Amino acid sequence: MSPDSGPLAEILAQALPGRLTNGILHAGESTYEVAPADLPEVARTLRDAPGLQFEMCMDVCGVDYLEHGRAEWKTEHATQSGFSRGRASAGIATPGAAAPGAAAPGAATQPGRRFAVIYHLLSIALNQRLRLKVFCEDDLAPMVDSVAPVWASANWFERETFDLYGILFRGHPDLRRLLTDYGFIGHPFRKDFPLSGNVEVRYDPEKRRVVYQPVSIEPRVLVPKVIRHDNRYDPALTGAAAEAPSSKPNG
């Protein structure tokens, strides 16, 4: 379970035995996966248990793994099609093998692994952070339990995730769109949502009002076909080269 052997990992293992899986440690912060059925109890334990005390939910965000891990995104060279967003033409397209349990590129999507919800937690009392990842069991109607009863700040974060990804939160007190227009159709951050949208608005001088109509923009790739080197992240400038062990023999 543990991404590291630090005190936090030991406390989590004692407080939530078998509830947290696929732990990883990145940038000094731990991320664990939790089953959807266990989310409410795990959230309350993380908030209340001594040694954990994650009293703040700093953010809730969605992830769409529809095209995650495809080979097109793993290159620093030119691509014939450009780095465009994926489209699902029939059913759900294939994700990659970056996440534990995900299918290999080109393989069929593993059910229940397309949409995930990420919770960023903070303990002010103990100065520690934690991320929780919950995969939605239904890819067509993704849904997880709301944690707004545990962390009040999750109310608006979950509304934002619902608006942009279409993920439903069971038990949310007021699950409405937050960022898009009242009549907006679709969810902009889904990878099967066209970049140009589905409808556009214009002023009709004859009707003397704003009207909606099918989008007239031709689909196109909006990002470069080449990933250019950014010298701001050169190892020689960031100090990464000095931290790496030397391969030259001593003397």
Higher-pLDDT residue of 131 and 224 is 131
Structure tokens at 222: 């909006």
Higher-pLDDT residue of 230 and 85 is 230
pLDDT tens per residue across span 135-147: 999 999 999 999 9
CATH number for the domain whose boundaries are 7-231: 3.30.460.80
Structure tokens at 99: 């996440």
For the chain, the distance separating the N- and C-terminal CA atoms, rounded to the nearest angstrom, is 43
Structure tokens at 57: 């939910």
Mean pLDDT computed over 167-195:
91
User: Are 148 and 60 in contact, with CB atoms under 8 Å apart?
Assistant: no
Structure tokens at 214: 């099918």
Return the domain boundaries, the chain.
Answer: 7-231
Please state, in angstroms and rounded to a whole number, the distance separating the CA atoms of residues 138 and 116: 11
DSSP state of 110: P
* pLDDT at position 33 over 60: yes
Measured on CA atoms in the order 5, 6, 7, 9, is the torsion positive or negative?
negative
pLDDT tens per residue across span 193-231: 887 888 888 999 999 999 989 888 876 665 555 666 777
